[in-house]
Structure 1
Amino acid sequence: MLPESLTAERDTGAALLTYCDDATGERTALTAVELGRWAARTAGLLGDGCGLVAGDRAAVLLPPHWQTAAVLLGAWSMGVTVSYRSWATAGLPAVGPGEDEPYDAVFVSRQRLGSWLERVPEARHRFVHGLAPGAASPEVPDGYRDYVAEASRHPGDVPAPQAVRYTDPASPDGTTYRQWGGIAAEIGARLGLAPGDRVLVDAAAHVQPVTWLLAPLAAGASVLLCANLDRDGLERRVATEGVTHVI
């Protein structure tokens, strides 16, 4: 299911998710409508393009990034069970509870694919992400397809909420959609997030999407996701970006 922040009426001129990389200068800002369109394209890619249905399984081996958000939201909107691994959490993808069977789809970063190639889980459909400024097409190895190119073939109209049951597992360990929603709400409350807040997230410090993505969206806040965060310029950025919380 898509969060209400992507389906409700919002100020379409305001960024809901902004991704910055202080090492490269990249800045990609997506409104609720734009992020919703990328989630819808991902859902179309998985459903119409790959034949996945609710209960099928996808592995997402990506760092915190706007493309990662699109993949996760698109997969969850269909009721797909998602195993998430960030390259920041370990040197190689790890296998966890309930993850010893082949996946239906896998999404992996081109930047790390060379060192991970022998460890990427088996999957019927494999997609590679360049994660480059402007979503430039990556070099695509045999057996993979370019995520941006393939997702762009599908409509970006945000679909009506799917009949995903809250009791269905959202992750391989059996955590349900309802439980993840509760965890996200608890994190948002602990951080003191409220509708209209703008949250600056250090991507290196918060790699799990329940913190950098779901908790702010559940609270009605927007996200400024910063990779390679320049701490020396943090005070200026907080002022210029209208940031209300830094995590």
Structure 2
Amino acid sequence: MNTAPAGPRTIADLLNVLVRDPGKPRLTWYGDDGERVELSGAVLVNWVSKTTNLFVEEFDGAPACRVLIDLPPHWRSAVWVLGALRTGATVLVPGPDGLAPDGRPADVTVTTRPAEHSGDVVAVALPALARRFDGELPPGTVDAAAAVMTYADAVLWVPETDPSEPALVAPAATAPVQGVLHGDVLAWAAGAPETAEAGARVLLDGRASLVDTLRSMLGVWAAGGSVVLTSPTTATALEADADRRERLVSQEGVSLGGVASTLGD
């Protein structure tokens, strides 16, 4: 009797899923002022691999390393989270105060607000064409826009992930759970409502929390699908303009049966 192949169980498995059809769009971003960025599976994994190498070489990324991701829902957030998880590190989602939810210091912070953090800090410029961080950087801060591109396109070496280590820790008020282990992270993501239809092209609302957005993206990708993510401003505009929303849905090939967003469905 034939059985369906098992889905991905680790972040490394998930990245392999993304490159099975390397040219297929996996993440499309609609930002403010008409910005549109499309990442195929190959391009997304290329970005993640570079980021993984940076974590390992610059910050000793490994299980038990704590990485605070102080970024909004965005295509760059997805890259940095996947890169951190690929090293086996724990991703911390900050609370309203910008600090780790458990009150303990992070080993490294990835942020758009480098002046507000101390220790090892990576400054991220969100605009797609940014070649450097726009603003003065504190001493020792890594400028992501300049640094990431210097790293290899394929993962060179990472320590073995410990499935019993936390993969994600977030404030209880913004997440369905406070902590998800590496061994359970994709099973947790599979519970997101957007993953109901395998292979769906899913529209996600950037007004959701970073945790909810990450859960949806991981779940959609694990099911072989792809994501169209909007900025909060774009999401609000689409909600107010049904014709514009329908044009986007049509142009991007969004699978209506797979959509479970707050954009009017």
State the TM-score, normalized to the length of structure 2: 0.78
Give the SS at the match of 1:217.
helix
Q: Specify the code of the residue in structure 2 equivalent to 1:213.
A: M
Find 2:128's aligned residue among 113, 119, 133: 133
Does the 8 A contact of 1:180 with 1:210 survive in 2? Answer: no
Taking a change above 3 Å as real, the CA distance of residues 145 and 18 of structure 1, as seen in their structure-2 partners, is same
Q: Specify the code of the residue in structure 2 equivalent to 1:194.
A: E
Identity, in percent, stands at 26
Higher RCO, 1 or 2 (CA under 8 Å, sep at least 6)?
1
Residue in 2 that maps onto 1:71: 80
Q: Which whole-Å CA distance do the structure 2 matches of 1:168 and 1:184 have between them?
A: 17
Does the 8 A contact of 2:53 with 2:156 survive in 1? Answer: no
Find 1:14's aligned residue among 24, 47, 50: 24
Larger helix share, 1 or 2: 2
Find 2:93's aligned residue among 78, 84, 90: 84
Shift of 1:24: 1.6
Taking a change above 3 Å as real, the CA distance of residues 242 and 50 of structure 1, as seen in their structure-2 partners, is same
Residue in 2 that maps onto 1:221: 225
Q: Specify the code of the residue in structure 1 equivalent to 2:196.
A: L
Find 1:234's aligned residue among 245, 249, 260: 245
Taking a change above 3 Å as real, the CA distance of residues 161 and 220 of structure 1, as seen in their structure-2 partners, is farther
Q: What stretches of structure 1 of length at least 5 have no aligned partner?
A: none
Q: Specify the code of the residue in structure 1 equivalent to 2:128.
A: P
Find 2:63's aligned residue among 38, 54, 71: 54
Give the SS at the match of 1:16.
strand
Give the SS at the match of 2:191.
helix
Residue in 1 that maps onto 2:168: 171
Q: Which whole-Å CA distance do the structure 2 matches of 1:222 and 1:161 have between them?
A: 26
Q: Specify the code of the residue in structure 2 equivalent to 1:178.
A: G
Q: Which whole-Å CA distance do the structure 2 matches of 1:3 and 1:93 have between them?
A: 29
Shift of 1:95: 3.9
Q: Which whole-Å CA distance do the structure 2 matches of 1:52 and 1:203 have between them?
A: 28
- Asked if 1:180 corresponds to 2:189, the answer is no
Larger strand share, 1 or 2: 1
Cα deviation per residue 1:76-128 (whole Å; 9 max; x = unaligned)? 0110111023xxx73x414422x323x2211111xxx2xx844x3x33x2111
Does the 8 A contact of 2:63 with 2:162 survive in 1? Answer: no
Cα deviation per residue 1:48-93 (whole Å; 9 max; x = unaligned)? 12223221111110011111111110110110111023xxx73x41
Which one is further off, 218-227 or 140-149? Answer: 140-149
Give the SS at the match of 2:150.
coil
Taking a change above 3 Å as real, the CA distance of residues 159 and 224 of structure 1, as seen in their structure-2 partners, is farther
Q: Specify the code of the residue in structure 2 equivalent to 1:196.
A: G
